Structure 1
Amino acid sequence: MTAESTGSAPVRVVVVGSTNLDLVVTTPTLPRPGETVLGDALRTVPGGKGANQAVAAARAGATCAFVGAIGQDGFADQLRANLAESGVDVGRLRNVPGPSGVALIAVDASAENIIVVAPGANGELTSLAEPDRAVVEAADVLLCQLEVPLSAVVQAAGWARDAGTTVVLNAAPARPLPAELLDAVDLLVVNQVEAAVVAGQGGPAEPDGLLDALVALVPRVVLTMGAEGARYADRSGLRLEVAAPNIEAVDTTAAGDAFTGALAVAWAQRRGPARPAAVTEVLRWACAAGAACARRPGASSALPTRDEIDALYARTYPTTAPAGRGGTS
């Protein structure tokens, strides 16, 4: 059941996370250690996993608020304006002394990328305040990543758990997670590399093994697999695999953020889908969002609108209704 189908207000998503200015260069091939390659013109694009996912959620139809930090430099106004112009509430975006976060990104001809992040102001978000708590407790979904200090993520997740707000954690960049955070997570979203780190596995592992390890830690897991789609597991024993739309990728930089933001919206609109068909539709809609994003260059500038997600969903999965629009739950 969705907000649209009931006539109620849109779902409320709050993101606690990072915002960066991305410095992006396209190159024929990604450099190896010690190698210099020539690239095309430099582009500056607002990004950061937290900000990207907030914009993605807003464009996917949610009412979204962002809790984060920017610096006192030339990038700060651009980062704040990008969120506000995308329909994200920036009332809890604070300015702190020093530089804003910056990401250095190289994208090759096959749309693969390498990213180095200088956290800047994001690293100063070590604790949250009572006004942040009010925003978290009023939300349907709290969406977090790990580009800000873990202490803030743990604090927000604890507030959300106590208030009955669904906690979605995109554990990126990956690190071992404390029990107090894992206990608060309702839905974990990771790629295969991140999954291995969170699960404490030293080397590559098969998806089934990763899912088994992760559902021992959290109730539900979505494993993203890029162009191959996504897999899902929960403690009821449900296992699902969803194919991604077939598209010509241009830049995959924010595709994962598009997927995660749309997933949070669709999950909340379904009020936590339980049946396999409902979960499948949610995953397909999120895959359509990620694929739609990868068709354009850039980070936040490439994030798709709800109509774009629906269009690619309908083209790829013609026998089911878009999870963000309706259907059974």
Structure 2
Amino acid sequence: MSTPHAAGLPLFVSAGDILTDLVRERDSRWLSHPGGAGWNVARAVARLGVPSAFAGAIGSDCFSDELWQASLDAGLDMRFIQRSQRPPLLAIVHQAHPPAYFFIGEASADLAFDPARLPEGWSAAAQWAHFGGISLARQPLAATLVALAADLRARGVKISFDPNYRNLMEHGYRPTLETMVGLADLVKVSDEDLRCLFGTDEDSALASLRAMNPQAAILVTRGPHTATFLAGGETIEAAPPRVEVVDTVGAGDASIGGFLFSTMRWPQRSWREHLSFALAAGAAACGHAGAHSPTLDEVVALMPAQ
């Protein structure tokens, strides 16, 4: 066990969006759910068994109290979550099928995140840092996170990036996309991300993405269909396990969380084995309502026999 880990600092840190989803039900009631892609990834890695943290800021309101408690319940390192007197960031999901949503939070708490307030020595302990989601489309937070990713990369921390396309990225996102891909050791995208970010067919979009950083490994997920992993000159394809789908919310976050967990827990394993674990994690998340973070036992149960 490394000295930093023994000192109680996390091996994995996700810095990105943390928010509350307000979802309208069929009878026009509204239900609130803690969420955010970056936060979901941190929970996924923590649930699987690697000391993890979510680095971000929340408010001091009822929604933020729920996010704080859910983070405690997930076993995240609470020293990385900052609180301010600003209002919360809300995602208003007024239609589920097809998804229709907008965000409320022009001066919300997430924008106040300050990396200088994180625990001393944390970057020396971290093996991976994950970035993505709408946090990278919201200034001044986006600039703060891009600078943090660059600093961590220079310190030898591996960088994972999942753009997780939302409508905030429709205009002006391309420079951030290029910078983050250039910093990343691993880029995770869905087929929908590729179409929306590049506005072309998937093959052309993937070629454009690879051209931004030929050295980065790329994981492409396609829901229940075959996923592709590219690293160097190697291309690996695998189909996710078949499960009875209850909810696909958070499945992509569970997949990248599973991949990162696998590389940290079993660094000696092959890319194919890491991919298999990632797809099993995403499938396990689909068996539950909401953004479920699967346990190690749930994921292993869906792994193909070796």
Q: TM above 0.5, one fold?
A: yes
Task: Note the C-alpha offset of 1:146.
Answer: 2.9
User: Secondary structure of the equivalent of 1:172?
Assistant: coil
Contact 1:72 1:98 in 2 (8 A): yes
TM-score (norm 2): 0.83
Contact 1:59 1:305 in 2 (8 A): yes
Q: In the alignment, is residue 257 of structure 1 matched against residue 232 of structure 2?
A: no
Contact 1:51 1:66 in 2 (8 A): yes
Tell me the alpha carbon deviations over residues 137-191 of structure 1, each in whole angstroms, 9 at most, x when there is no partner. 3211101113223212212211221121110011123532445433321001111
What's 1:211 paired with?
206
What's 2:104 paired with?
118
Task: Note the C-alpha offset of 1:121.
Answer: 2.0
Equivalent residues, number: 284
Q: In the alignment, is residue 166 of structure 1 matched against residue 152 of structure 2?
A: no
What's 1:227 paired with?
224
Contact 2:159 2:184 in 1 (8 A): yes
Contact 2:22 2:32 in 1 (8 A): yes
5 Å matches for 1:1-329? 12-25=11-24, 38-39=26-27, 42-105=30-93, 106-108=95-97, 113-119=99-105, 120-125=108-113, 127-129=114-116, 131=118, 134-148=121-135, 149-173=141-165, 175-178=173-176, 179-196=178-195, 198=197, 201-203=198-200, 205-206=201-202, 208-218=203-213, 219-234=216-231, 236-271=232-267, 278-299=270-291, 302-313=292-303, 317-318=304-305, 320=306
Task: Note the C-alpha offset of 1:25.
Answer: 4.2
Task: Note the C-alpha offset of 1:114.
Answer: 4.5
Contact 1:113 1:252 in 2 (8 A): no
Task: Note the C-alpha offset of 1:117.
Answer: 3.5
Choose between structure 1 and 2: higher helix proportion: 2
| 2-structure distance, mates of 1:76, 1:11 | 22
| 2-structure distance, mates of 1:196, 1:289 | 24
User: Secondary structure of the equivalent of 2:22?
Assistant: strand
| 2-structure distance, mates of 1:20, 1:151 | 19
| 2-structure distance, mates of 1:252, 1:241 | 21
1:311 maps to a residue whose letter is A
Task: Note the C-alpha offset of 1:89.
Answer: 0.5
Tell me the alpha carbon deviations over residues 67-89 of structure 1, each in whole angstroms, 9 at most, x when there is no partner. 10101211111111111111110
Tell me the alpha carbon deviations over residues 46-68 of structure 1, each in whole angstroms, 9 at most, x when there is no partner. 11111111111101121101110
Contact 1:136 1:160 in 2 (8 A): yes
User: Secondary structure of the equivalent of 2:121?
Assistant: helix
